Structure 1
């Protein structure tokens, strides 16, 4: 990725870093005051995570020409069997981020050089992976045909469905604690397949929704918000 940088183009990146014994030796050298609180994507302090600069202590950073940041969290029960000797000894689970963001950060973005900022940006990558998983749930997991053209059409339809799902949650359900980050299966059950009938009366089309359906209010709010959007130009 470093090779993508040119005189006219600057590429910044953050990637995960496989921890070796060399990295663990560098982590063990970190003083207690080197650790600082991590933050969530919304800017709130993360109560159970901390980050520290590892670049100057890790010889692999210079070898690869990157900046290394280490994050530590309290391990969950699921992580217990995968902990290294250092993690068992310290009671923390570690993860390292490699980046080419230097001490000056991004031009025009205040605080982008700080460890907490870089850590939060990197962890936001999980949303990308999450959307890949949900796109598979929209039909990308199984292609329907051995014919190339049929599969191309299928993938296009799946991606359109995934985009509609994402924009519907963002524009119509952003303040709904239950549905704003719901899985496609949940939205299918709550909204897309809601118990309703489309009828015609007095030259009008009316959607009659079951009054007992728990998500009828969420559907109406979402529908009204989407209808209020300006027409695309």
Structure 2
């Protein structure tokens, strides 16, 4: 990101929501993924600078609206419309396509999610008294966070890849199992009645299939 170029999420007020509803269908552009592919069910549009909802805003600020079909089971908010989830962000970046700006903002939101997860994982409070001991603690937590970032990408699929660390811990990491040694082989036996046994076994198979870096 160029120095001084920023994006920030904006609360959808009644005026902003009304401005979003007035955007013509032809002005909405499909959102994109990092690989350049179209993001299914998501669109972005820029609110005209002459809109009343931007009265009093600093000159040169662009307001970008985004709408996306919610995932199954998600509850819409009163600010949403037409069965889609509405969000907005402001940016001072000029001459950049809005789909690219929205992708940048979305990726930044993922970074903030990582920070929030880090606090919940062990960075909210330092548990030890000595600074050297806390340094070791921080290094251990950072290793855990790296594993939490890469494991879902490499081993999980579909919705499981998007789970929060707390849910991963409850469903995958604390699963009861038996480690049995027989015929010079070690076998991990998971409970068949556990609802996420298939997710765990598929994840282990995907990890085992990865090429050995050595």
Query: Normalised by the size of structure 1, how large is the TM-score?
Result: 0.65
Check 1:53–1:231 CA distance in 2 against 1; reply closer, same or farther (3 A cut).
Answer: farther
Instruction: Give the 3-state SS of the residue equivalent to 2:127 in structure 1.
Output: coil
Mark the structure with the bigger radius of gyration. Answer: 1
| 2:161 match: secondary structure | coil
Measure the CA separation in 1 of the matches of 2:66 and 2:168: 35
- Runs of 5+ unmatched residues, structure 2: 34-38, 68-75, 81-85
1:99 aligns with 2:99: no
Closer, same or farther in 2 for the Cα pair 1:125/1:229, shift >3 Å? Answer: same
Change (3 A) 1:155 1:39: farther
Q: How many Å separate the matches in 2 of 1:170 and 1:61?
A: 40
Count, aligned residues: 189
Q: Please state whether the residue corresponding to 1:230 is helix, strand or coil.
A: coil
Structure 2 residue aligned with 1:134: 117
Q: Which residue number corresponds to residue 198 of structure 1?
A: 179
| Change in 2 beyond 3 A, CA 1:40/1:134 | farther
**Contact (CA 8 Å) 2:23, 2:47: kept in 1 or not?**
no
* 2:55 corresponds to 1:54: no
Residue-by-residue CA offset, 1:91-127 (whole Å, 9 max, x unaligned) = xx88442233x32xxxxxxxxx322331232133211
Distance verdict in 2 for CA 1:76–1:208, change over 3 Å: closer
Q: How does 1:34-183 map to 2 (within 5 A)?
A: 36-37=27-28, 39-42=30-33, 43-46=39-42, 50-54=45-49, 61-62=58-59, 66-71=60-65, 76-77=77-78, 95-100=88-93, 102-103=94-95, 113-173=96-156, 175-177=157-159, 179-183=160-164
Question: Cα RMSD (Å) of the superposition?
Answer: 3.7
Give the Cα–Cα distance (whole angstroms) in 2 for the partners of residues 167 and 94 of structure 1. Answer: 28
Kept in 2: contact 1:53–1:115 (CA 8 A):
no
| Distance change in 2, residues 1:98/1:58 (3 Å) | farther
Q: CA deviation at 1:138?
A: 1.5
Tell me which of 10, 15, 34 is aligned to 2:7: 15
Provide closer, same or farther for how the CA distance between residues 33 and 201 of structure 1 changes in structure 2, counting only shifts above 3 A.
Answer: closer
Query: Which range is displaced more, 220-229 or 117-126?
Result: 117-126
